Structure formats: structure tokens, C-alpha cells
Amino acid sequence: MALIDDHVKDRLAILIVDDETNIRKTLSYCLEAEGHSVISVSNFTDAINEAKRRSFDMAFLDLKLGKDNGMDLIPIILSDSPWIKIVIITAYASIESAVESIKRGATEYIVKPFTTDQIKLVTLRISRIRQLENQVVTLKENMQSLGREDSPFQSENALMQRFMETAKKAAPSEAIILLRGESGTGKSVFARAIHNWSGRSTKPLGIVACPAVPHDLLESEIFGHVRGAFTGAVKDNPGRIAACEGGTIFLDEIGEMPFSIQAKLLRFIQDKEYERLGEATSRKANVRIIAATNSDLEKHVAEGIFREDLFYRLNVINLTVPPLRERPEDIMPLALNFLAYFCRINHKNIQGYTDAAIKRFTGYKWPGNVRELRNTVERAVILGSANQVGDSDLPANITPVPASQAIGDLVPLSVIEEQHIRRIMAKTSSLQEAAEILGIDQATLWRRRKAYGI
């Protein structure tokens, strides 16, 4: 019977650090035969350089490296890749060194001479741990989005069906995917689905909402930084790209990415290389990119605020999510799904919608798309007390605001604010420009758009 179960093993990136040639060759042969990617080095300096250049899941580390102590490598390797699992291999085993290595961050301790079966078993165990860690990260992200736009995959609309069919075909490839569409259509949900449909599904998915991160911190968020790179950088940050090794990074609203960072992203797309902020060492990473935007990127290119070469690199597979108003047959199925979800988490027993409520749902244009529909249903469930959601449970903002409304009219302040933000967004070409006109920062505008379903 095989030691490795094909259903649970995963391809790991593994670093071997040992000054004995035969040990390196034996380990490399054994691990590569199991399908893992292996880099082997013989000394302290090369180990540091490789750990800085690449992201590893696992390392086999000898305690005796000539005149150097392999124990001192443990914190150095962990500082670059906090998720890495380090296996100590030594011919000079002792209880003291085993305890000390675990204290410093090692995961396993193996005594030489070892067998290939031992190596396969410990690698399998660590593969399972890495899978579980990635699943925990994915579950946390899914919990953040659960019930928002989490059921767009059943559709009676021909446009939506074609979109999903194309997305499923593109998912297993390594191509960059650019998701386009209005705010609230569910682009982030489809990005997560594309990752899950791909061969990278067991690896991490990192999400960066470009407008939600201050411009001066966005580069560090994506590429990472070293301690002292800027004021407040009190410790190293590996960055999202390093954390997503083997997986996918989703850059939401990439049209809002500052021009100064675009060149660095372009280089990573072309060469799979990047540098952390404040560091000269080039690093490599195997990460797929999915991007999304509700901006007119062609217009941004013409205005000189988005790089043309980056646009063409991103625009390999271009998928546009249809707005909700173009797929009216999906409105009530989505509304019923959201109703069931919010009833469950709010311990309510609401059975459906009245005819009057259904008429308003289906007659409304939903400018905020699925996000606005979700927010409307959530409000109705929380505030409603009858056994059905009725016309009176629906907020005023699902009825188009009359053009004549103005300051001083007898309407809630939020209605005026929402109307004004919508008009400013329609007349400006970027989130930054709209925020400057409104006199608020981009993060605040981002939150207001989410709240109003814009």
C-alpha cells in the first residue's frame, strides 16, 4: 500500500539545507519522485538567499552546516516565510537540541540515518497541515462574504449562463482573468469561484481591495516590506503575494491602483519577480492574478492614469458580469436565497414575500445590483415582524429618487447623501476624483458605496 494517499497529498515547495552531498541527493530524489518542487543548498548563506528569493512550504534543515549552526537559520527562514514548516535532520541528536529547535519554531525533528519512508510520512503530515491552514484561511474569507452574493451560480438568464460557462472554462488555465462589471454585481464572489474551480484551489486566495488600502500602504500590502522600510514598519511583512504562493491573488478595483505601483505589478506579471519595500533582493513567486474593476480602463489609459502595457497584460481573458437589471429573472431567486439566509442567522421565520413586495422587487432597476438586493433583504428581515416581507418592510431607496428632490425636501438625509454620491460617481472617472470632490477619503467613500449598494 502506498504511503502517500493521492487524495490528500499536495505539491509542496521544499528547501533542503545540508552540507552532505549524498543526503541532498537522496532527499531530492525521494521528494521529487513524490511530485514536490525541491531546491537544495549546502550552506548557511545559500539557504538565506534561497529563502529570500522564493516562497517555500517546508524545509529540511541540518543542524551541522560546517562551522555554522543550523539552529540559527530557523528564525531567519521563518521571518521571510512565517508559514513554513521546518524539519530538523541531524546525526547529533539530543533532548536539549530537540527542545531548543522546537522553541525556535521547528515543526519536526528527525535523527540520521533516516529512511525514505520516514521522509514520505513527515512530508505527508506537513502537506495535510498546510492544506488545513489554507482551508482555514479560505473559510474565514468565505464567512466574511457568506450571504452577500453567495448564490449567483444558478441563473435562468442567457447572459449570465454564458458568463459562468466561460468563467468555468478559463478557471483551470494559468491565464490572468479581468472581471469587469458594475459595483455590486458579485465580481469578488466569481473571483473566489474561479480560484476554487482551478488547480490552485488547495492553495491560498489573497484578496486586496485597492481602494480600501491607503495609497502609501498598498505597495506594502501587496509586495511586503522589511522592518524600517518606512515609519511604523516595526517588523517584516511578507506581503500578500508571498502569502499566496502557489495560489491566487485577487486585486479588486484595480483601476484605483496608484500609477506608481503599476510598474511593479507589471514586472511581477512578466517575470514573476518582485522586491519587498525597502529591500533590494529580488524574489520569485508562483501566483496567479485575477483582477476586477468597475472603471473604464480604456478611458483611464487614454487619460494617462493607467499604464497601457499593464492593461494589455491584464486583459487576457476579459469577463463582464451582467448587471442585475439585465437579468430580471434572477431577482426573486436571489431574494429568496437571501431571505432564507438572514432568517437563519436572525432566528426569524419569514415564509416569503407578499405580491406587493414582489412587484416592487421586480419593477426596480437595482442600480446597486446584487449587493443592494442583499442589503434590502437583510433590512426587511431585521425590521419585519410579519410572516411575509411586505411592501411596508422595504426601504424607500428601492424606488427611484425623483429628479426634483433637493436639500430641504421631506426625505431622510441618507437619501440625499446617496443621490449626491451617485451623481458625483457618474460624473467622475475614478474613486480618487470622486472622493476629492466629496471632501472625504477614499476608504470612507468605499464604505458609503457599500452601504448604499452603489
* Burial of residue 352 (number of CB atoms within 10 Å: 0-12, 13-18, 19+): middle
2 has pLDDT over 50:
no
Q: What is the pLDDT of residue 256?
A: 92
Q: Where are the alpha helices (DSSP H) in 109-224?
A: 116-145, 158-170, 187-197, 215-223
Is the separation of the CB atoms in 8 and 134 below 8 Å?
A: no
Whole-prediction pTM: 0.66
Read off the pLDDT band of 452 (50, 70, 90): confident
Looking at residue 273, its amino acid is: E
Q: Would you call 209 helix, strand, or coil by DSSP?
A: strand
**Average of per-residue pLDDT values in the chain:** 86
Distance separating alpha carbons of residues 383 and 342, to the nearest angstrom: 12
151 has pLDDT over 70:
no
Q: What is the pLDDT of residue 395?
A: 83
Q: What is the pLDDT of residue 6?
A: 41
290 has pLDDT over 80:
yes
7 has pLDDT over 60:
no
241 has pLDDT over 50:
yes
Q: What is the pLDDT of residue 1?
A: 33
What cell numbers appear for 318 in the block? 476579459
Q: Which residue has the higher pLDDT, 79 or 186?
A: 186
**pLDDT tens per residue, range 367-376:** 889 999 999 9
148 has pLDDT over 90:
no
**pLDDT tens per residue, range 152-198:** 567 888 889 999 999 999 999 999 999 999 988 999 999 999 999 99
Read off the pLDDT band of 396 (50, 70, 90): confident
Q: Which domains does the chain possess?
A: 13-130 (3.40.50.2300), 146-322 (3.40.50.300), 325-397 (1.10.8.60), 401-454 (1.10.10)
Is the separation of the CB atoms in 64 and 92 below 8 Å?
A: yes
Read off the pLDDT band of 433 (50, 70, 90): confident
**451 Cβ neighbours under 8 A, 6+ residues apart:** 375
Spell 14-40 as b/e; 16+ CB within 10 A means b: bbbbbbeeebbebbbebbeebebbbbb
Q: What is the pLDDT of residue 138?
A: 65
